[in-house]
């Protein structure tokens, strides 16, 4: 096994880290306090090619692999979770799902502007009374000739008020034998008549990120905007969740690293009783655990990225990564606050923001409880990955440059 990253991977990491440190770090506290997104962040990420890393050049991407997506998410969340959340919904939920399931015409129309950062996308699946139970979706899409008429509301949607397109799943058959068989997925222009959206304020964390709701009132969506076949929405949504969870897990790895670096730096500078606190074994124990968890999380997300490169389904491995990394990052941020003492309780230092940001990832994109059930299902032989009509394409370096 070769665990060496390519020079291209290393260059990508340096580029994303430079962007984060030089352009985002100086203003992140201000926007976190104001609870507003940084206005230039996403346009700049588009200019740098970050929003289209893992797509072929012919679709507006950078021709890089899926590992690159994970590495970019790690670097972005090492600065602030709001940057990675944008990657999760724009690249993971929306663009990658179109890349996997969309027709050539849909890729030309939607994927290219998304990959270039000319348009912003989001994934809209959660509803006011429906989160992890996708089969309980109630928002409807009724066929009307060569179009569908959409009605309903989606809630807790990142970039809801900022995105141009939303990939969303609606109920097209209320009489299906199984609720999950009555769903279909669409790509919707959020500037269409009948679409309204707004932001949710007062969040515990990810305050520099946009989270909101989208309402659909008799929204007419052309037939050619349906992704996949009618009744295939549940499978498409589960694929989207895999893509999103991969970015969440790799991003949480970056938060782990940030907590580790902050803890090491502070512990070596802070003295008590004439000694740096890094010399005390109880402090060392916390730092050792964070360091260990970072290495485990990093290996998990690199493995998941490698499996995707091979064209292998890796729902189980992505679940391992998402659950472990998010829970470990929350614990790491908590330990980092303890190491910082009273200063950790203040936003003078970044660690309190790490804790607030880390908490949400244990819930969204499939809670830890859902990940536990997924993992148990595989271990008990009750769950298996059946072939999909459209699998995520394996990475091909030559094909990706076309």
Q: What is the pLDDT of residues 377-394, one digit of tens each?
A: 999 999 999 999 999 999
Q: How far apart are CA 10 and CA 68, in angstroms?
A: 9
In three-state form (DSSP H/G/I as H, E/B as E, the rest C), the secondary structure along 153-203 is EEEEEECCCCCCEEEEEEECCCCCCCHHHHEEEEEEECCCCCEEEEECCCC
Give mean pLDDT, residues 32-53: 97
CATH number 1.10.540.10 is the correct assignment for the domain at 7-120: yes
Q: How far apart are CA 92 and CA 66, in angstroms?
A: 11
pLDDT over 70, % of the chain: 100
pLDDT score at 399? 96
Please identify which residue in the block is written with the tokens 């950790």. Answer: 344
- What tens digit of pLDDT does each residue of 134-153 get? 999 999 999 999 999 999 99
pLDDT score at 290? 98
pLDDT over 90, % of the chain: 98
pLDDT score at 396? 97
Q: How many CA atoms lie within 13 A of 373 on its CB side?
A: 6
Q: How far apart are CA 34 and CA 305, in angstroms?
A: 35
356 within 8 A of 205, measured Cβ to Cβ: yes
Question: Mapping DSSP to helix (H, G, I), strand (E, B) and coil, where does residue 131 land?
Answer: coil
pLDDT score at 187? 98
Q: How far apart are CA 336 and CA 340, in angstroms?
A: 6
According to DSSP, residue 277 is labeled G
Please identify which residue in the block is written with the tokens 């690159």. Answer: 68
Q: How far apart are CA 358 and CA 32, in angstroms?
A: 14
Q: Tokens representing 70?
A: 């994970």
* Residue ranges, CATH 1.10.540.10, the chain: 7-120
pLDDT score at 133? 86
pLDDT score at 44? 98
87 within 8 A of 77, measured Cβ to Cβ: no
The residue among 79, 68, 123, 81 whose CA lies nearest residue 98 is 123
The residue among 368, 363, 393, 396 whose CA lies nearest residue 97 is 393
pLDDT score at 2? 86
**Whether residue 1 has pLDDT greater than 90:** no
CATH number 2.40.110.10 is the correct assignment for the domain at 123-234: yes
Q: Tokens representing 305?
A: 């990225």
* Residue ranges, CATH 2.40.110.10, the chain: 123-234
Q: How far apart are CA 307 and CA 391, in angstroms?
A: 13
pLDDT score at 72? 98
- What tens digit of pLDDT does each residue of 172-206 get? 999 999 999 999 999 999 999 999 999 999 999 99
Query: Is 30 designated active site?
Result: no
**Whether residue 129 has pLDDT greater than 90:** no
* Residue ranges, CATH 1.20.140.10, the chain: 237-400
Catalytic residue among 77, 365, 384, 391: 365
E-strand stretches of 200-245: 211-222, 226-227
Torsion of CA 20, 23, 26, 29, to 10 degrees: -60
Residue 31's pLDDT band, with cuts at 50, 70 and 90, is very high
pLDDT score at 165? 98
Q: What residues form DSSP beta bridges with 170?
A: 184
Homologous superfamily of the 237-400 domain (CATH): Butyryl-CoA Dehydrogenase, subunit A, domain 3 (1.20.140.10)
Buried b (16+ CB within 10 A) or exposed e, 242-256: bbbbbbbbbbbbbbb
pLDDT score at 130? 84
According to DSSP, residue 24 is labeled I
Residue 132's pLDDT band, with cuts at 50, 70 and 90, is confident
Q: How many CA atoms lie within 13 A of 181 on its CB side?
A: 4
Give mean pLDDT, residues 342-360: 97
């Amino acid at each position: 096994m070769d665990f060496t990253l390519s020079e291209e991977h290393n260059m990508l990491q340096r580029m994303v880290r430079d962007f984060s440190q030089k352009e985002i770090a100086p203003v992140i506290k201000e926007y976190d306090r104001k609870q507003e997104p940084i206005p230039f962040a996403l346009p700049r990420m588009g200019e740098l090619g970050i929003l289209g890393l893992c797509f072929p050049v012919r679709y507006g991407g950078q021709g890089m692999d899926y590992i690159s997506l994970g590495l970019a998410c790690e670097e972005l969340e090492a600065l602030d979770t709001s940057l990675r959340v944008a990657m999760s919904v724009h690249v993971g939920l929306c663009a990658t799902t179109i890349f996997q399931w969309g027709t050539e015409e849909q890729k030309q129309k939607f994927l290219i502007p998304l990959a270039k950062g000319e348009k912003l996308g989001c994934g809209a699946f959660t509803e006011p009374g429906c989160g992890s139970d996708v089969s309980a979706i109630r928002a409807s899409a009724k066929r009307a000739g060569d179009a569908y008429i959409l009605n309903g509301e989606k809630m807790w949607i990142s970039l809801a008020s900022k995105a141009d397109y939303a990939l969303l799943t609606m109920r097209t058959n209320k009489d299906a034998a199984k609720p999950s068989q009555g769903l279909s997925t669409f790509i919707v222009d959020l500037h269409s008549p009948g679409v309204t959206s707004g932001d949710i304020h007062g969040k515990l964390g990810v305050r520099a990120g946009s989270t909101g709701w989208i309402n659909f009132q008799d929204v007419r969506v052309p037939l050619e905007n349906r992704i996949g076949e009618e009744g295939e929405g549940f499978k498409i949504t589960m694929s989207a969740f895999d893509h999103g969870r991969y970015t969440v897990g790799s991003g949480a790895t970056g938060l782990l690293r940030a907590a580790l670096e902050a803890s090491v730096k502070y512990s070596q500078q802070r003295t008590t009783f004439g000694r740096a606190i890094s010399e005390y074994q109880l402090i060392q124990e916390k730092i050792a655990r964070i360091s260990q968890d970072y290495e485990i999380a990093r290996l998990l997300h690199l493995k998941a990225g490698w499996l995707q490169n091979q064209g292998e389904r890796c729902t189980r491995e992505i679940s391992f990564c998402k659950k472990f990394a998010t829970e470990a990052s929350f614990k790491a941020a908590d330990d980092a606050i303890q190491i910082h003492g009273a200063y950790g309780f203040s936003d003078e230092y970044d660690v309190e923001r790490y804790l607030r940001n880390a908490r949400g990832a244990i819930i969204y994109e499939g809670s830890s409880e859902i990940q536990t059930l997924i993992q148990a299902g595989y271990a008990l032989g009750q769950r298996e990955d059946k072939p999909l009509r459209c699998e995520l394409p394996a990475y091909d370096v030559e094909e990706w440059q076309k």
